[in-house]
């Protein structure tokens, strides 16, 4: 793997993050004086000045900005208004729940999406194919919160099998994971089917058959690896969709993760927490994009050579 390529990707990712930090900083300052948000209107002027001084708000904007960025590198994101705990702490506490939900959802998404797409492509125009297409088309149009509600209506209200909200047992995980996973799997199914169909029609597949190799050998050894690039792209993009979807899904099922924390933090205008979440999500997304980029070059070495030449 080309080291220069890796480094340039890494640098690009860091730049994106710095840009997001910068925009957050200026948006926060634009939104008004944090002192006025925090302290009651009747606070004496000396106290206001004291707070200003303590938080460095009396310094020039450039100095504040540098301090802000340095603080972030030291893990200092400010305090939550409600209980004065570190905002980072508040967010990190919620990570396990969301990670669990996301992993389960990704597993469901990959199995149903990629699996469904491959099966559909290998059985083109069959009943299975039609079912997968219908699933992909319908899935795009169903709001995931509505799908979650339909699941609750079926499994909780009608059948009484699963708890409608909360967390703690594996039973609580099933419906949120299904909601998020199936929702994320519809684009995967579409792209996998299209991509596999395309490789199946390539001349090298005819060669494989002509050499007398078994059909499924050709499929697994040649068609699927060549179909992988667009699938991985969508899988990477899907992470973003998944995180966005988690905000809503966690609210539907009262799942105690980052998504629900985001909603309540926004409702209460807990800026420190919101800012940690934005940076947290952006870091994850940038890392995933990086991994996806590196996966490309591993799957198809031509990519790093070509983009290396462009630089």
Partner 1 sequence: MRIEAATGIKPDYRSRSATFWLCTGYLALVTSAAILAMFIAPFGYNDQDLLQRLKPPSFLGGPSAHLLGTDQLGRDVFSRLLFSIQTSLAIAFVGTIIGAAVGTSLGFVAAHFGGIMDRAIIMLIDMQAALPFIILALAALAIFGNSFIVFMVIVGIHSWETYARLIRAAVLSANSSDYVTAMRIMGASPWRIYIRHVLPNVAGILIVQITLSFPAVILLESGLSFVGLGVQPPSTSLGLMIGSGRDLLTQAPWLALAPGLTIFLTCLSVSMLGDKLGDKLNVTLN
CA distance 147 to 178: 9
Say which DSSP state 169 is in.
S
Helix (H, G, I), strand (E, B) or coil at 179: helix
Q: Does 243 bind partner 1 (CB under 8 A)?
A: yes
> Whole-angstrom Cα distance, residue 283 to residue 291?
12
Stretch of 62-70, 72-80, 126-134, 217-225 contacting partner 1, by CB under 8 A: 126-134
Q: Which of 178, 188, 200, 223 binds partner 1 (CB under 8 A)?
A: 188
* DSSP E strands, the chain: none
208 is a site residue for partner 1 (CB under 8 A): no
107 part of the interface to partner 1, by CB under 8 A: no
**Residue 134 makes contact with partner 1 by CB under 8 A:** yes
Contacting partner 1 within 267-286 (CB under 8 A): 267, 269-271, 274-275, 277-278, 281-282, 285-286
CB of 72 to partner 1, least distance (A): 15
Q: How far is the CB of 92 from partner 1 (least distance, A)?
A: 17
* Among positions 4, 7, 14, 31, the unique one binding partner 1 when judged by CB under 8 A: 31
CA dist., res. 224 & res. 309, Å (int): 28
d(CA 185, CA 135): 10
Distance in Å, CB of 171 to partner 1, minimum:
18
Torsion angle defined by CA atoms of residues 261, 266, 267 and 271, in that order, rounded to the nearest 10 degrees: 110
Q: Are 229 and 62 contacting, i.e. CB atoms less than 8 angstroms apart?
A: no
Vertex 155: Cα angle to 149 and 157 (nearest 5):
75
| Spatial distance between the Cα atoms of 39 and 28, rounded to a whole number of angstroms | 17
Q: How far is the CB of 285 from partner 1 (least distance, A)?
A: 5
**Taking contact as CB under 8 A, which single stretch among the options 102-110, 207-215, 217-225, 260-268 is the one that binds partner 1?**
260-268
Residue (108 or 208) nearer to partner 1, CB: 108
Q: Are 117 and 198 in contact (CB under 8 A)?
A: no
DSSP 158: I
CA distance 118 to 95: 33
By CB under 8 A, tell whether 79 contacts partner 1: no
Of these, 39, 128, 205, 237, which contacts partner 1 (CB under 8 A)?
237
In the complex, the residues that contact partner 1 under the rule CB under 8 A are: 12, 15-16, 19-20, 23-24, 27-28, 30-31, 125, 130, 133-134, 136-138, 140-146, 149-150, 152-153, 156-157, 164, 187-188, 190-191, 193-194, 230, 233-234, 237, 240-241, 243-244, 247-248, 251-252, 262-263, 265-267, 269-271, 274-275, 277-278, 281-282, 285-286, 289
């Amino acid at each position: 793997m080309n080291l220069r390529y890796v480094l340039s990707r890494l640098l690009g990712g860091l730049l994106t993050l710095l840009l997001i930090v910068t925009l957050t900083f200026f948006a926060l300052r634009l939104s008004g004086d944090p002192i006025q948000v925090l302290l009651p209107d009747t606070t004496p002027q000396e106290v206001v000045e004291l707070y200003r001084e303590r938080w460095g708000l009396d310094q020039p904007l450039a100095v504040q900005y540098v301090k802000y960025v340095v603080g972030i590198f030291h893990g200092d994101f400010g305090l939550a208004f409600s209980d004065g705990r570190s905002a980072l702490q508040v967010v990190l506490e919620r990570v396990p729940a969301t990670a669990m939900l996301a992993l389960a959802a990704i597993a469901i998404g990959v199995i149903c999406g990629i699996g469904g797409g491959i099966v559909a492509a290998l059985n083109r125009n069959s009943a299975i194919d039609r079912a997968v297409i219908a699933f992909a088309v319908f899935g795009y149009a169903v709001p995931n919160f509505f799908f979650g509600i339909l699941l609750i209506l079926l499994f909780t209200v009608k059948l009484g099998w699963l708890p409608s909200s909360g967390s703690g047992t594996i039973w609580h995980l099933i419906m949120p994971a299904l909601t998020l996973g199936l929702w994320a799997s519809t684009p995967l199914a579409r792209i996998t089917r299209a991509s596999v169909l395309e490789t199946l029609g390539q001349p090298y597949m005819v060669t494989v058959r002509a050499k007398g190799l078994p059909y499924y050998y050709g499929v697994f050894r040649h068609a699927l690896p060549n179909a992988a690039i667009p699938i991985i792209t969508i899988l990477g993009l899907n992470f973003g969709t998944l995180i966005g979807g988690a905000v809503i899904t966690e609210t539907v099922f009262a799942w105690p993760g980052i998504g629900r924390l985001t909603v309540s933090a926004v409702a209460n205008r807990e800026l420190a927490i919101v800012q940690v979440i934005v940076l947290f999500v952006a870091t994850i997304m940038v890392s995933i994009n990086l991994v996806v980029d590196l996966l490309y070059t591993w799957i198809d070495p031509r990519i790093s050579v070509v983009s290396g030449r462009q630089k």
